[in-house]
Amino acid sequence: MITARVWRERRQRYLNEAARCKGCGRIHFPPRQVCDACRGSDFEAVRLAETGKVLSWSIIRVPPPAFAQEAPYAVAVLEMDDGARMMAQVADVAPEEMRTGMRVRLEFRKIRQYGRTGIIAYGHKAVPVA
Amino acid sequence: MRDVAVIGVGMLRFGELWEKSLRDLCVEASLAAIRDAGVERIDSLVVGCMASGLFTEQEHLSNLLADSLGMGPVPATRVECACASGGVALRSGLMEVASGMSEIVLVVGAEKMTDVSGEACTATLATAADQEYEAFCGATFPGLSAMIARAYMEKFGATSAQLAAVAVKNHANGALNPLAQYQSKITVEEVLKSIMVADPLHVLDCSPVSDGAAACILCPLERAAKLSRKAPVRISGVGFATDSIALYRRPELTRLPAIELSAQRAFKMAGRKPSDIQVAELHDAFTIMEICALEEVGIVERGQGAQAAPAGRTALNGPIPVNTSGGLKSKGHPVGATGVAQAHEIVLQLRGEAGPRQVKGARIGLTQNMGGTGGSSVVHIFEA
Ligand SMILES: [Zn+2]
Under 8 Å between Cβ of B246 and B132 = no
Centre of ligand 1 to C-alpha A34, Å, is 8
Together in a domain, B143 and B180:
yes
Residues of B in contact with A30 (CB under 8 A): 132-133
Together in a domain, B140 and B258:
yes
Under 8 Å between Cβ of B212 and B55 = no
B244 close to A (CB below 8 A): yes
Which helix (H) or strand (E) segment holds residue A7: the answer is: helix A2-7
Centre of ligand 1 to C-alpha A30, Å, is 14
Q: Between chains, do A60 and B139 touch, taking CB under 8 Å as contact?
A: yes
CA angle B296, B191, B336 (to 5 degrees): 50
Average pLDDT over every residue of B197-211: 98
Domain that residue B153 falls in? 126-204+236-383
Together in a domain, B146 and B18:
no
Q: Can you tell me the distance from the alpha carbon of A37 to that of A60, in angstroms, rounded to the nearest whole number?
A: 31
Catalytic residue among B171, B202, B283, B333: B333
* Model pLDDT for residues B144-159, shown as the tens digit of each residue: 999 999 999 999 999 9
- Residue B222 sits in a domain whose CATH number is 3.40.47.10
Q: Which long-range contacts (CB under 8 A, 24 or more apart) does B308-313 make?
A: B309/B162, B309/B165, B309/B166, B309/B168, B309/B169, B310/B161, B310/B162, B310/B165
| Residue of chain B whose Cα is closest to the Cα of A124 | B137
Average pLDDT over every residue of B126-132: 92
| Residue of chain B whose Cα is closest to the Cα of A26 | B249
Q: Can you tell me the distance from the alpha carbon of B361 to that of B321, in angstroms, rounded to the nearest whole number?
A: 12
- What share of chain B has pLDDT > 90, as a percent? 99
Predicted pLDDT of residue A1: 63
* Residue at B293: amino acid letter: A
* Model pLDDT for residues B12-42, shown as the tens digit of each residue: 999 999 999 999 999 999 999 999 999 999 9
* C-alpha distance from A117 to closest chain B C-alpha (Å): 16
Predicted pLDDT of residue A109: 96
Together in a domain, B15 and B81:
yes
Interface test with A, best of B119, B124, B136 (most A CBs within 10 A): B136
* Model pLDDT for residues B285-298, shown as the tens digit of each residue: 999 999 999 999 99
State yes or no: is B60 an active-site residue.
no
Whole-number average pLDDT of chain B:
97
Together in a domain, B69 and B181:
no
Average pLDDT over every residue of B255-270: 98
For residues B86-114, one letter each, b for 16 or more C-beta atoms within 10 angstroms of the residue's C-beta and e for the rest, the string is bbbbbbbbbbbbbeeebbbbbbbbbbbbb
- Please give the order of strands across the beta sheet that includes B4-11: B76-79, B44-48, B105-111, B212-220, B4-11, B233-242, B376-383, B364-371, B279-281
State the SS3 of chain B.
CCCEEEEEEEECCCECCCCCCHHHHHHHHHHHHHHHHCCCCCCEEEEECCCHHHHHCCCCHHHHHHHHCCCCCCCEEEECECECHHHHHHHHHHHHHHHCCCCCEEEEEEECCCCCCHHHHHHHHHHHCCCCCCHHHCCCHHHHHHHHHHHHHHHHCCCHHHHHHHHHHHHHHHCCCCCCCCCCCCCHHHHHHCCEEECCEEHHHECCCCEEEEEEEEEEHHHHHHHCCCCCEEEEEEEEEECCCCHHHCCCCCCCHHHHHHHHHHHHHHCCCHHHCCEEECCCCEHHHHHHHHHHHCCCCCCCHHHHCCCCCCCCCCCCCECCCCHHHHHCCCHHHHHHHHHHHHHHHHHCCCHHHCCCCCCEEEEEEEECCCCEEEEEEEEC
Q: Exposed, middle or buried, B275 (CB in 10 Å: 0-12/13-18/19+)? A: exposed
**Could you tell me which of B176, B208, B212, B215 has the C-alpha nearest to residue B194?**
B208
**Could you tell me which of B139, B200, B260, B132 has the C-alpha nearest to residue A78?**
B139
Label residue A23 by pLDDT band (50, 70, 90).
Answer: very high
Does position B84 have pLDDT exceeding 90, yes or no?
A: yes
| pTM, 2 dp | 0.97
Together in a domain, B40 and B176:
no
Average pLDDT over every residue of A10-21: 95
* Model pLDDT for residues A113-126, shown as the tens digit of each residue: 887 788 999 999 99
Q: Between chains, do B147 and A77 touch, taking CB under 8 Å as contact?
A: yes
Centre of ligand 1 to C-alpha A11, Å, is 21
Q: Is A4 helix (H, G, I), strand (E, B) or coil?
A: helix
Together in a domain, B89 and B153:
no
B253 close to A (CB below 8 A): yes
* Model pLDDT for residues B107-128, shown as the tens digit of each residue: 999 999 999 999 999 999 999 9
Together in a domain, B32 and B94:
yes
**Could you tell me which of B324, B241, B231 has the C-alpha nearest to residue B279?**
B324
Residues of B in contact with A67 (CB under 8 A): 138
Residues of B in contact with A60 (CB under 8 A): 138-140, 143, 198
* C-alpha distance from A130 to closest chain B C-alpha (Å): 23
Together in a domain, B296 and B322:
yes
Together in a domain, B145 and B240:
yes
Residues of B in contact with A63 (CB under 8 A): 119, 122, 138, 140
Residues with CB under 5 A from ligand 1 (ion): A 21, 23-24, 35, 37-38, 40
Complex ipTM: 0.97
Interface test with B, best of A48, A56, A106 (most B CBs within 10 A): A56
Together in a domain, B177 and B284:
yes
* Model pLDDT for residues A91-102, shown as the tens digit of each residue: 999 999 999 999
Residues of B in contact with A77 (CB under 8 A): 147, 247-248, 253
Q: What is the largest CA-CA distance in chain B?
A: 56
Total domains in the fold of chain B: 2
B372 close to A (CB below 8 A): no
Label residue A5 by pLDDT band (50, 70, 90).
Answer: confident
Predicted pLDDT of residue B276: 98
Q: Is A23 helix (H, G, I), strand (E, B) or coil?
A: coil
Catalytic residue among B83, B206, B216, B292: B83
B209 close to A (CB below 8 A): no
Average pLDDT over every residue of A28-52: 96
Q: Between chains, do B140 and A60 touch, taking CB under 8 Å as contact?
A: yes
Together in a domain, B79 and B139:
no
Query: In chain B, positions 125-154, which contact chain A (CB-CB < 8 Å)?
Result: 126, 132-140, 142-144, 146-148, 150-151, 154
Does position B256 have pLDDT exceeding 90, yes or no?
A: yes
* C-alpha distance from A62 to closest chain B C-alpha (Å): 6
Predicted pLDDT of residue A130: 78
